[in-house]
Every structure is written in C-alpha cells, then in structure tokens.
Structure 1
Amino acid sequence: MQRLAAALRLSTPTHIATRRTIMSGPSQITLPSPADFHVHVRQGAMSELVTPHVAQGGIRTAYIMPNLVPPLTKTEAVLAYKKDLERIAPKTEFLMTLYLHPEVTPEEIRKAAKAGISGVKSYPRGVTTNSSSGIEDYGVYYPVFKAMEEEGLVLNLHGEVPSDDEKNISILNAEKHFLEHLRKLAADFPKLRIVLEHVTTSEAVECVKSLPANVAATITAHHLWLTIDTVAPQPHHFCKPLAKEPKDRKALQDAIKSGNPKFFLGSDSAPHPSASKAPSISESGELHACAAGCYTSPYLVPLVATLLESFGALDKLAGYVSEHGRAFYKVPAKAGDELTLRRPATAVKVPARLDGAEGIEVVPFWAGKELGWEIVN
C-alpha cells in the first residue's frame, strides 16, 4: 500500500484517472450534505442548462457569484435572480451575494442582511470574467466592510491584482501581490469573515494559515489537478486565477490533506460556450481572447473524491466538501440531506460536451476522463 501511495504521488496528472481500478479502500462513502461555496450559474439560456447541474454533481447548497451583466449590486436584483434559480432548480439551496461596487453602500448592506443575502464578492477591475465594474481601491469601501462586519455578511475576495508591466505584475504573480491587501483587511476588520477565493499558490496557503480564524480560503477541484504545463496547450484549462507550479498544486493538496478547517470547497465552476474557449476571429478581423473558466458542476463531488483519493486525502472528503465550509458560513447541514458515493461497477467518464437551448454547447473539465466514484443518491 505504501508503494502504491508513493506511485500515485509521483504520477503526472494525466495518470490520475487511470488509477481507479487498482485503488483499495472503502467501496461506499456517505457525506453530510455537500456544499459548494463558489459557483457561477450565469443567466438566460446558459443558466437554464447549468443550474440543474449543481444538484446533479452532488451539491445541496450553492454559494452563487454575482458577476452577471449587469452585475448584481442591488438587493432587489439579487432576490429576483435567486427566485429565477429556484424556479430552475427548486431542490437546491442557493446562498446569494452582492457585487462590490459604488452602488453597494452601508445602507444596502443592512437591507441585504435583512433579506438573507450571505455575502459580498469583490473583483479587482478587469482581472476575470465580467469584472469590468470591479474595484480599484479597497479604502473607499471601509464603511461598507464595517457594516458587513456588524451585519455578519462574508467578504469574498478574488485574490488577484491587475497586471502592471512597470511593476512586473502578471497573471503568474498577481495572487502573491494581492496578499498584502488580505493582511491589511484582516487586521483592520478582525470580526469580518473573509474568504480568499480559489487560492492557487503556496504563498496564499501559508498566508491564510497565518491569519486569525475569521479568514478562510476556497480551493477548486481543477486547481488540485492543473499546473501551468497542463494549461498552456489547452484552452479548456485556462482559468483565472491561472494554475501555477507543481509545488503550488502540492500546497493546495497538503492544505486539504491536513484537515485544516480554514480550507474548503469553492469550485469556481464557470461555464462558457465552447466557441468562446476556441480561437476565433470577429467580423472586424480581431482575434477573440479565450474565456477564463473551468466547468465542473455536473460531476463535482465524484471528481473531488477521485482527486482526493489520488493524493491520499480521501478521509478528508467530508470536511472539505461539507463540514468546514458550513461551519465557517454558519449554514448547518439539513437532516436527511446526505450524499452517498460508490465505486462504479463500469467506467464512468466525463462527457465530451453538454448541450443546451439556443445552440449552447459547453465542454466540461476533464472531458473524456474516467471518474473513480459515482453518486448513489
């Protein structure tokens, strides 16, 4: 068994899916109400396709991102969006967020808190999908953060700074440069719950570990597998923040393996039409940029179980996908809402594509690869 574990640690990411048949251990696992604390379900026809996939992938509670077009900066808009999501997927519990913006005032925070909105998402301007309305100066939002601290809302941080050639800041080191902002916010608002979203670097892991208990971090499924080498040749692996070096991936894996409750699942599952992930030229002759995002919702919990087993952390699955995040967000699991996984009798592969209305086609992460687990109920 020790030799097997060593072989798995040394194997490259492309070998993970092929190892299922030789793994030993439990044949069935029951989890207490999995929750995904960072999900994108879009709007319009795309939302009609992907919103049911959240439950299909084993998630009972989903924390929904507000970067729509236009962004969700008003309580009424958030509640209308939630109502539409509940129409599409009535059995999923949706936790909602506001988009940090000049329209989000302390008064709006208090209104949002009374309406049951859970948090506020901060996007630095221009760093990712639909972030053109993002912020440039955290200082001007200190009254908002104070109101959030008082009302118990969570601050969700996209932890990158914009690229800057003169300062040698790029998508490769943008997360490292953001950590000074995280430290300052944590020091200035010691009672504000803060989540550094989708961490990708060993420095971010160590920073979160060093800060008080009111600071936590989400880790995506895809960053547990990707490195910069697997992103470079494959547009469907391109996401923000960008996957980094093998040592950074190992730091994420070790954070989960340690059982530290500061780290929990936030998939950042982000669907894009397949055409937006492929090179294309507009009518004006310009080359379109590749959209940033990996889509994992339809099979998320089996994927996570497969990945955690590959680096010896299967026993930490319940903490990572349910217990730690629910404790931090103060959202208890509902009785009788467990999820059971089992090892499949026959191969279960991620589909090559998912089709929706109006010609929408989405290519999921890990398309064509084999999963080591499947959902029973």
Structure 2
Amino acid sequence: MADKNMTSLTIRRPDDWHLHLRDGDMLAAVAPETARHFGRAIIMPNLVPPVVRMEDAVAYRDRIMAVVPETANFQPLMTLYLTEETDPSDVIAAHKAGIATAAKLYPAGATTNSASGVKNMSAVRPVLEAMAEAGMPLCVHGEVTNSEIDIFDREAVFIDKVLKPLRKRIPDLRVIMEHVTTQDAVDYVRDTPKNLGATITTHHLIINRNHILAGGIRPHYYCLPVAKRERHRIALVQAAISGDKRFFLGTDSAPHIDPAKLQECGCAGVFSASNTMSCLAEVFDVAGALPKLEAFSSLNGPAFYRLPPNDSTITLTKGEPVDYPTHIQTGEGPVTVFDPGFPLHWRVDA
C-alpha cells in the first residue's frame, strides 16, 4: 500500500543494465533520454552489422559519446555480440582493456537483429570458458527459438534446455538472465546461490499479455520476450521490490519508429527511457516499497557487475501528474514513449 506521507525520495543515480541505443539519427535522438537520468548503461550490440570485435565496440562507444550532452555524466558500458566465429582472445582482450564490460548471447532469430546469433551452443563454449576464467559476465537473451515451442513458453524451456546445462558445464561463468518475464525465471534465480543475476524491465512490471491483445492489438506494447500472464507480472514485481541483490533494472528500452511498429509485421520493442524512473517510482509506491527502489535501480546492478554505485544522486518528488510527451522525434521518424496506462505522479529532479 502506498505511503501517502512519502512525497520525496533521494537515491543514488540509477543505471540501466540493458539498453538499446541503435545508431545514426536514432542514436542521436534517444541517447540523451537515457543520459538525463542514468549514470551508466549496458549497451546492446545488435546493430547491423553487429558489434562483434573490440574495434567495433570502441567505434560504437565513440559514436554514443559524440551525441551525449556535454553536461551529462553518462558512461556507456559496451558489450560484444557473440557469434559462432567469435575469437575468445579478442573478447578477453576487450574486457581486460576496459572496453567490453560483458558479452551478449542471442539465440539466432530470438529478437531484433539477432540473425547472426548462436545456433549451436557448443560452438561458443571456448569463448564462455575463457570468460568464466576472466570473470567476464555473459548477458543472455533467454528464449529458445524453435518454432514448435509456444512463444509464451520459450523462456521456461530455455532455462531447462539451455541455461541449466550450460551453467552445469561452466559453473564459474557469471550470467545475467536479461528481461526475465516469468515466475519460472524468478524462481530459478532465487534458487541459485551464486553467479546468476537477472534484469527486469520497466514495462514487464506494468503490462501483461492482455495489454497487448485484449480489446484489439496494441503494437506499442509488443516486445520480446513477450509479456506473459498476470501471475508472472506479479512475480516480477515481488522480485523487484524484494531487495534481493540478484534482481536489478534493465529497461530493454528499444526504440522503433512508429511506421516500423504499425505495419503487418511490426517490430518488437518498447521505448521507455524517457519516463522509466517515474514509472518505477509509481510501481514501488503502490506496492509500499519505495525504500527498496534504490536497491533495484542503483545498487544491485553495480554489485553484480563488481562496480561501485554512482556517487551522484537524483531526487524523485511526488505531486501532480507529470506530462511526458507521447512521442520523441528522431531523424528517422517519431518514436512512441511507453504509456503505463496510469498517471505518473513522481517527477525526477536529476
């Protein structure tokens, strides 16, 4: 239950441990939205072509910093896209040089720009073994892509068929299950004592599959992994507000221009960078857990990545509803900002 007497909250500046910035004109428009409130972000490497090598990560990082406002205290944390041809020595060299914070495993065909991902897990075992030895984290898109598996079951099947065997073979590998969406994933993380964490998105704390499908298709809520039943959303909220250090914020904010969303085969992705902290404050407030927001958004992620929390702070203030724009304009076209479906009373004073 919300604490009506709590109208202000100051926390360490949050980090986003799963973010899509795209490139070019889109990058120029969306990067400042994240830099406004966040100190750091794990940057997804699924560009076209993907960020595979150390030199790719350096170039992409430079393009990001070129469009981040000079007044922003923002650090992009780069990741490398694993393919079946990835050179383990390049990955480890990038990590030791401080260029690649983590590597990203996409099952081939799992989501946007994942065609270059992994089909045969044994092909990347040498890379994963080298990462385990070096202490380099692995970010995982945890879904199988077999067309015979129901889309709502793909996360649970991935845990049983891929992740459990992988972690049994390489127990020292530090794994982040990204954008978990099910009670199954929450339970698996809770039952695992070490080397496993999970990010939870803003939108998966708020929407279930009814928001996408009931009363008509709402493409701006369509994302991958797709939102699940209400019981799964509740499990995610309970994990987020628990204070458990294994759960932390990764928005998976993923911009697509409206024409790409509103077509016969629309793109998957929710853009939430602009209003995430207001959305989260509302969720935690309603759950009577505002004091736990700092752990979820600002402390647990750095602890898992073995980084210090940010020195600076932000203050959230409760008052009249905040009027966020419905869209941001980019050089490629308009991008719709995530609509939580309820008023946002918490304003961010960064």
User: d(CA) in 2 for partners of 1:354 and 1:367?
Assistant: 16
For the residue of structure 2 that corresponds to 1:173, the secondary structure is helix
| Structure number, greater radius of gyration | 1
In the TM superposition, what whole-angstrom CA distance separates every residue of 1:314-338 from its partner, at most 9, and x where no partner exists? 2210000011111000121233x11
Q: Report the Cα offset of residue 367 of structure 1.
A: 7.0
Q: Does 1:131 align with 2:104?
A: no
Equivalent residue, structure 2, for 1:151: 134
Measured against aligned partners, the alpha-carbon deviations of 1:276-327 in whole angstroms (never above 9, x if no partner) come to 1112xxxxxxxx4111000100122121111221223222100000111110
The question of whether the paired residues in 2 share the 8 Å contact of 1:74 and 1:103 is answered with no
- The 8 Å contact of residues 352 and 368 in structure 1, kept in 2 or not, is answered as no
Instruction: Give distance in 2, aligned partners of 1:374 and 1:69.
Output: 36
- How far does the alpha carbon of each residue in 1:149-186 deviate from its partner, in whole angstroms, 9 at most, with x for none? 12221101100000323xxx021111111002211222
**Correspondence list, 1:295-334, <5 A:** 295-334=271-310
Corresponding residue of 1:235:
219
Equivalences for residues 163-202 of structure 1 within 5 A: 163-165=146-148, 169-180=149-160, 181-202=162-183
Q: Which string of whole-angstrom CA distances, capped at 9 and with x for unpartnered residues, describes residues 189-247 of structure 1?
A: 22221000000010111011112321010000100111110011210000000100011
Matched letter for residue 17 of structure 2:
F
Question: Match for 2:200: what amino acid?
Answer: I
SS at match of 2:237: helix
Counterpart of 1:86 in structure 2 is 65
Distance in 2 (CA, whole Å) between partners of 1:261 and 1:324 is 5
3-state SS in 1 of match to 2:227? coil
AA matched with 2:318:
R
Distance of 1:72 and 1:134 partners within structure 2:
12
Q: Secondary structure at the match of 1:375?
A: strand
Match of 1:247 among 227, 231, 245: 231
**TM-score of the pair, normalised by structure 2:** 0.94
Report the Cα offset of residue 76 of structure 1.
0.2
Task: Tell me the TM-score normalised to structure 1 length.
Answer: 0.87
- The amino acid across from 1:183 in the alignment is K
Question: Which secondary structure state, in structure 1, belongs to the residue aligned with residue 274 of structure 2?
Answer: helix
SS of 2:275 mapped into structure 1? helix
Calculate the aligned-residue CA RMSD, in Å: 1.5
Change (3 A) 1:272 1:29: same
| Match of residue 35 from structure 1 | 15
1:96 aligned counterpart, secondary structure = strand
Contact 1:73 1:103 in 2 (8 A): no
Partner of 1:16: none
Aligned residues: 342
Within the candidate set 316, 322, 347, 1:374 is matched to 347
**2-side partners of 1:253 and 1:92: how far apart?**
27
Letter matched to residue 348 of structure 1: V
Tell me, in whole angstroms, the C-alpha distance in 2 between the residues paired with 1:125 and 1:104: 14
Aligned to 2:184: 203
2:40 corresponds in structure 1 to 61
Structure-2 change in CA distance of 1:313 and 1:368 (3 Å) = closer
Contact 2:298-2:310 within 8 A present in 1 as well: no
State the percentage of identical aligned residues.
Answer: 37
Residues in 1 aligned to 2:120 and 2:193: alpha-carbon distance in whole angstroms: 23
Distance 2:111 2:308 in 1: 31
The amino acid that maps onto 1:240 is: L
Contact 1:157 1:197 in 2 (8 A): yes
1:369 Cα offset (Å) = 4.8
Residues 122-172 of structure 1: CA distance to partner in whole angstroms, max 9, x if unpaired?
11111110011111121221110111112221101100000323xxx0211
Measure the CA separation in 1 of the matches of 2:200 and 2:345: 20
Measure the CA separation in 1 of the matches of 2:7 and 2:295.
19
- Equivalence for 1:363: 336
2:121 paired with 1:121: no
Question: How is 1:67-78 mapped onto 2 (pairs within 5 angstroms)?
Answer: 67-78=46-57
SS in 2 for 1:48: helix
Distance in 2 (alpha carbons) for counterparts of 1:154 and 1:275:
36
In the TM superposition, structure 1's runs of 4+ consecutive aligned residues that sit over 3 Å from their partners are: none
2:282 and 2:344 in contact (8 A); partners too? yes
Residue of structure 1 equivalent to 2:316: 341
**1:110 Cα deviation from its structure 2 partner:** 2.0
Q: 2:5 maps to what in 1? A: 25
Amino acid at match of 2:146: S
Give the distance between the partners of 2:31 and 2:7, measured in 1 at CA: 29
Q: What do the CA deviations read for 1:56-115 (whole angstroms, capped 9, x no partner)?
A: 2x2111110000000111100111100111111153111100001133221112221133
Give 1:25 deviation, angstroms: 3.3
> Aligned to 1:349, what secondary structure does the other structure show?
coil
- Is the CA contact 1:110–1:147 (under 8 Å) kept in the aligned structure 2? yes
SS at match of 1:136: coil
The answer as to whether partners of 2:101 and 2:137 remain within 8 angstroms in 1 is yes
